[in-house]
Structure 1
């Protein structure tokens, strides 16, 4: 298993993985266009030339970044790969000079195990008014906002 920066040629496999989990109501859908436009934010988990996991780090504001599109193939769940992807994304945040990382998740227990704390969504106004407001689930979103301050 190898975690590496994503490449343009990975986009269709990333999209397929994200859509699988979104269709199972585990995450939000992402368009092919959105993944292409933000490919430099992604890392992928690769197994024998197949993408079996992914995640992205998106800088939202000064000293604040978001982990997005975190997904691991069902075949590889429970083996610590999601945790490894998050660790790499947090290291990327540190390298950018960002010390606060948040996630919006339908599975908050995963992030809580990694040291994240649940926060009020209102503490993320830039996220809400730049992205969430355009989501079809805006008024009924079940995602839980979580935050960690990196050491």
Structure 2
């Protein structure tokens, strides 16, 4: 964990901030019942979050990871992803073209679209920015110890 921020479970009062950050990235609202972890600065400000969605087989999908622009490069996204990977053992996601290098650096690999939770696939299919975004389904499994 960083000395600059800590990670905790999101609280109902966090939803407005999380939805604002999500909106800045062109994504939908964060709901109170969503499974979300937040990164909080030492000043108490939310600086990033990860929303986790589970498919019928219990596989964890990231949808999405968002780090506030001034906090990019400080390890917030990496800490959120690694924390979720350690907790759930496998993560799947659809990477936007601009974030592909980030996920590849973390060890994620391309997988077929059929391995992604159908509602997430539908979101991508319906997105007006699909061609511009060049989404790529990816997965990472925690190493066996």
TM-score, length basis structure 1: 0.78
Within 1, Cα distance between the matches of 2:54 and 2:29? 19
Within 2, Cα distance between the matches of 1:12 and 1:36? 10
- Unaligned runs of 5+ residues in structure 1 are 23-28, 94-98
RMSD: 2.1
CA distance 1:131–1:112, change in 2 (3 Å): closer
Q: Name the SS of the counterpart of 2:19 in structure 1.
A: helix
Alignment correspondent of 2:29: 31
Within 1, Cα distance between the matches of 2:122 and 2:50? 22
- Bigger mean CA offset, 131-140 vs 80-89: 131-140
**Paired residues of 2:111 and 2:139 also in contact (CA < 8 A):** yes
Alignment correspondent of 1:26: none
**Paired residues of 1:63 and 1:100 also in contact (CA < 8 A):** no
**2:39 aligned to 35, 45, 55, which one?**
45
More helix by share: 1
Number of residues paired by the alignment? 133
- Unaligned runs of 5+ residues in structure 2 are none
Alignment correspondent of 1:8: 12
Shift of residue 44, structure 1, vs aligned partner: 0.6
TM-score, length basis structure 2: 0.81
Within 1, Cα distance between the matches of 2:68 and 2:129? 29
The 4+ residue runs of structure 1 with deviation greater than 6 A are none
**Paired residues of 2:37 and 2:80 also in contact (CA < 8 A):** yes
CA distance 1:140–1:62, change in 2 (3 Å): same
Within 2, Cα distance between the matches of 1:88 and 1:110? 16
Shift of residue 134, structure 1, vs aligned partner: 5.5
